[in-house]
Each structure stands twice: as C-alpha cells, then as structure tokens.
Amino acid sequence: MHTSICMTIPASSNAVLKHCLNPFLGNFLPLNPCKPLRKTASVTTTKALLSSSKETVLKDFHERRALKIISGLQNFDRDNVASVVTAADKGGATHVDIACDPDLVKLAISLTSLPVCVSSVDPAAFSAAVEAGALMVEIGNYDSFYDTGVVFSTEQILKLTKETRSILPSVTLSVTVPHTLSLPDQVKLAEILEKEGVDIIQTEGGKCSTPSKSGVLGLIEKATPTLAAAYSISRAVKIPVTCASGLSAVTAPMAITAGAAGVVSNTHIHKISDINLLVWL
C-alpha cells in the first residue's frame, strides 16, 4: 500500500516569498546613494526584507512540519530536476533542494513558489545561486561523496560553515552533520554549528545502516542512525533539526516524535508516477 505525505503551503507565504525572491541583487538600494538619509532608509528596508524572507523560509521548520525534497547535489539534469521540483510543488512539499547552479535555480523558481535551497560543499558557489533566486543554502547531502570514499571531518565542516557565513551572513543556512562521526561527536559539532550562526541542522545515516530484517523491521533498522542523531541533537540545540536519508512512510512520523522539525527525502521522489502525490514507495 502506498502512503502519501502531503502538506499545504498558505497562499500568504507564497506571496511573501515571491515578493522577497532575491533581495541580494541590489534592487532595494537607493537610487541616489549620495544622500545619507535615503541610504539609511534603504538599508533598513533591506534588512527588514531579509528578515521577512528568512522568517518565511524557516516558518515550516519552526512549526515542525517541513518536508524538503532533494533532487541531488550533483544532479545537473534539467529534465530530472524539473520533474522533481514539479512533483514536490504539486505534492505539498515545503521546500525543494537542488544542485548549486544558477541556471537550475532559475528553472526551479519558474516552476514553483516554494523556497529553493541549493546544496554544495563549495561556499564560493553559493553567491551566484542566491543571486539567481535561492533563499536557502545547504552544506551537506554528502551521499555522492561517500560513494567515492570521501568523508568530511568536524574541522572541514566548521571551515565550510565559517566561509559560507562570511560570504552570506543573512541567508538561511542548513548544515548536515556527517553520520560518519560518532553520535557524541555529532552532538558536539551541532552545538558548535549553532554558535556559528547555522539556522538548521540536518542529520543523516541511511548509507551506514544495512538492515538485517525485511519489511517494517528493516525500515526501522535503516532509519535508526538518523533517528538517533535527531533525538540526541534536538535536545542539545535550540535550532530546528531535520532528518534525512533512510526514512520511509513508517519512520517519517518517528522522526518528528524523536524531535525533528521536518524530514528530507531524495530516494523515492524519483520514482513518482503521479506528480499530484509525494509517494513513499
């Protein structure tokens, strides 16, 4: 039996997102910057718009109802990305997460009014994507790197985070805590990331879990690492925590119960045959 997870995005949220689609292009700078009073007013307006945009992006996370759909950090196939974004939009997702590419961002925002997040491990690449319309950036979605034997240390994650924050101090930032770290080290890293100004912590674990059982027991086994991380980290930080990788219709509700503010999916969205539903196969 197929189970669907659907969420409705209020029209007011979409309106705000469209209005604040990209405050980083300079559209809100004064026409005559030589006049101090106009410049001050413009700076104030820009900060207000940035704050409004960020608040809107984080709203579903704070309400613990976020559903972010990922097309893949290294997926630059326009047709595939378009299909994933369309399915996410029609199915009731709250956010879409795509590869960090300005052209893909423009494609995504032409298909949906949902907040577009871009994923990368190259902080320098984020600016162009944000200028193209991305409202959120993610350091994470490491699955494709694990396949080649590449793992990320605590020091590397912190370095990437600091670089990203120095480049984009006001953009919503999510950082994935690698499952390759021990659980205590994941918690410690999450606490440091919160102090560095990260807005969302994402957990993972699907790649490191090989279920010994089939059926429901196997699904629970596969989700155990990310659920354990969500439970532990959500009790150590005040910012939202999301669960990614290894989840199913059986374990997604468990993620919320464990303390997650939302769930992230990239495996099953590619198998959707009806774009009106986000189906967990």
Concatenated DSSP letters of the chain: --EE---PPPHHHHHHHHHTS-TTSSTTS-S-TTSHHHHHHHHHHHHHHHHHHHHHHHHHHHTT-EEEEE--TT---HHHHHHHHHHHHHHT-SEEEEES-HHHHHHHHHH--SPEEEE-S-GGGHHHHHHHT--EEEE--THHHHTTT----HHHHHHHHHHHHHH-TTSEEEEEPPTTS-HHHHHHHHHHHHHTT-SEEEE--GGG---SS-HHHHHHHHHHHHHHHHHHHHTT-SS-EEEESS--TTTHHHHHHHT-SEEEE-SSGGG-S-TTS-EE-
Asked whether residue 1 is assigned to any structural domain, the reply reads no
CATH number at residue 24: 3.20.20.70
Asked whether residue 278 is assigned to any structural domain, the reply reads no
Q: What's residue 211's pLDDT?
A: 63
Asked whether residue 84 is assigned to any structural domain, the reply reads yes
Q: How many domains does the chain fold into? A: 1
Q: Which percentage of the chain shows pLDDT scores above 90?
A: 58
Residue 86 pLDDT level (bands cut at 50, 70, 90): very high
Asked whether residue 205 is assigned to any structural domain, the reply reads yes
Asked whether residue 5 is assigned to any structural domain, the reply reads no
Asked whether residue 257 is assigned to any structural domain, the reply reads yes
Cα 89 from Cα 112, distance rounded (Å): 6
Checking if the pLDDT of 269 tops 80, the result is no
Nearest Cα to Cα of residue 178 among 126, 222, 226 = 226
- Rg from Cα positions in the chain: 19
Asked whether residue 33 is assigned to any structural domain, the reply reads yes
Asked whether residue 246 is assigned to any structural domain, the reply reads yes
> pLDDT tens digit string along 123-135?
999 999 999 999 9
Residue 147 pLDDT level (bands cut at 50, 70, 90): confident
Residue 207 pLDDT level (bands cut at 50, 70, 90): low
Checking if the pLDDT of 221 tops 80, the result is yes
The parent domain of residue 244 ranges over 11-272
Question: What is the reported pTM?
Answer: 0.77
Average pLDDT over residues 195-211: 83
